[in-house]
Amino acid sequence: MVVIVSAMSGETNRLLALAKQVNDDPPPEYERELDVIASTGEQVSVGLVTLAIQKAGGQAQSFTGGQVRIVTDSAFTRARIKSIDGQKIHEALRAGKIAVVAGFQGIDDDGNITTLGRGGSDTSGVAIAAALKADTCEIYTDVDGVYTTDPNICPGARKVARVSYEEMLELASLGAKVLQIRSVEFAMKYGVKIHVRSSFNDNEGTWVVPEEKQMEDVLVAGVTAARDEAKVTLIGVPDKPGIAAKIFRPLSDHGIVVDMIIQNISEAGRTDLTFTVPRSDLKRSVELIKSTLPEMAEAGIKTDDHIAKVSVVGVGMRSHAGVAQRMFEILAAEGINILMISTSEIKISVVVEAKYAELAVRVLHDGFGLGVAPASP
């Protein structure tokens, strides 16, 4: 058994707050030091967990990311794992010990301490499971699995027994906080079977696995709502080549991720352009557009941060037509107006007024029959 542990609750925030106290805005080349500081949260945890295992009668040994050579690139605070040397872990296992490894951290080729970014311990776990060719990667969390939707919004929400990597990726990127996106990408790449389950009971959780035949029989696997975006509409944009690039380049340069983009039909050489950005970036986005496109300021920039993105996800969409149509009908029947639409192979997202978010989730959950468990294959 290999155990990958996170920092204690609140510890990473406490450590980064200490750093902020002495230097509230370090330049990029000093982000190295943030990782030196933040990585201690997991280091304390591996020591404590190892001591606790010994106290409980077991045998264990702790490892920092550096000690098992979890080698990453040098992108401090958001490093990516390049390789893992399983040798030290294998030695501990052969000696009959449980290997307790610090999540969230690694070292780069020069021995600098790196961290993987928020939720990075999930990724560490999956990456170590892949390196060791483990049978399963069990991820213990504060919920007991992946649900068809948020049980706080929809009492009929049901725990899903199995979900495909692709579905989990869409659900995670749409706001389901169960697993970090990168950990799912890693699992998909290396075929690691994940079992997401509760830290507080022994119930079977949700398996995140390669796509299975019977998953296609289910039209929609889950419904999500995200409230962290805002909508920007640029009215009367000159409809000429290169204008979209001119608008979105400054946002991209400043690390602002634009999600959905809609361009209306052009009239008299001008068009309206609507897009969404993270709500926390709304103000800066508008400022950037005003400064790079002064002509827009007068033409008019409208913003709306009272929106929600409601999505349905399922690999069954690939083989079944009409899911989008059904979704629009369900929402229309409740008088919910759709402001924007975006689709991918296994996902349909609509933007609606924020006040309709919960209602939309409930009627879609019922309308697609998600409260009823699918028949066993």
What's the min distance (Å) between Cβ of 51 and a copy of itself?
A: 4
CB 93 within 8 A of CB 54: no
Q: How far is CA 279 from CA 231, 255, 266, in A?
A: 8, 14, 28
Check binding of 72 to a copy of itself (CB under 8 A).
no
- Best CA proximity match to 348, nearest among 317, 300, 312, 299: 312
What's the min distance (Å) between Cβ of 18 and a copy of itself?
A: 6
What's the min distance (Å) between Cβ of 44 and a copy of itself?
A: 5
Among 2, 15, 273, 346, binds a copy of itself (CB under 8 A): 15
Check binding of 6 to a copy of itself (CB under 8 A).
no
Q: Give the whole-angstrom CA distance, residue 295 versus residue 53.
A: 65
Q: Which is nearer to a copy of itself, 17 or 372 (CB)?
A: 17
Residues 30-69 that bind a copy of itself (CB under 8 A): 30, 32-34, 36-37, 39-40, 43-44, 46-48, 50-52, 54-55, 61-62, 64, 66-67
Bridge partners of 61, per DSSP, are: 99
Q: Give the whole-angstrom CA distance, residue 277 versus residue 262.
A: 13
Q: Which is nearer to a copy of itself, 54 or 141 (CB)?
A: 54
Could you give the angle at the alpha carbon of 243 between the alpha carbons of 237 and 246, nearest 5°? 115
Check binding of 26 to a copy of itself (CB under 8 A).
yes
Among 1, 17, 18, 373, binds a copy of itself (CB under 8 A): 18
What's the min distance (Å) between Cβ of 298 and a copy of itself?
A: 41
- Give me the residue label for tokens 């920039």: 301
In this structure, what are the phi and psi dihedrals at residue 318, rounded to the nearest 5 degrees?
-55, -40
Q: What is the DSSP string of 14-73?
A: HHHHHHHHH-SS--GGGHHHHHHHHTHHHHHHHHHHHHHHHHTT--EEEE-TTTTTEEE-
Q: Which is nearer to a copy of itself, 61 or 149 (CB)?
A: 61
Say what angle helices 11-22 and 40-55 make with each other, to 10 degrees.
150
Q: Which is nearer to a copy of itself, 47 or 117 (CB)?
A: 47
Q: Which is nearer to a copy of itself, 1 or 52 (CB)?
A: 52
What's the min distance (Å) between Cβ of 330 and a copy of itself?
A: 51
Alpha helix locations (H) across 206-354?
Answer: 243-253, 282-292, 294-299, 323-333
Q: What is the DSSP string of 191-234?
A: TPPEEEEESS-----EEEES--GGGGG-S-SEEEEE--EEEEEE
Q: Which is nearer to a copy of itself, 27 or 294 (CB)?
A: 27
Q: Which is nearer to a copy of itself, 35 or 229 (CB)?
A: 35
What's the min distance (Å) between Cβ of 21 and a copy of itself?
A: 8
Q: Which is nearer to a copy of itself, 30 or 200 (CB)?
A: 30
**Number of amino acids touching a copy of itself (CB under 8 A):** 33
Q: Give the whole-angstrom CA distance, residue 345 versus residue 338.
A: 20
- Give me the residue label for tokens 């879609």: 364
Among 4, 5, 84, 113, binds a copy of itself (CB under 8 A): 113
Binding site for a copy of itself (CB under 8 A): 15, 18-19, 22-23, 26-27, 30, 32-34, 36-37, 39-40, 43-44, 46-48, 50-52, 54-55, 61-62, 64, 66-67, 111-113
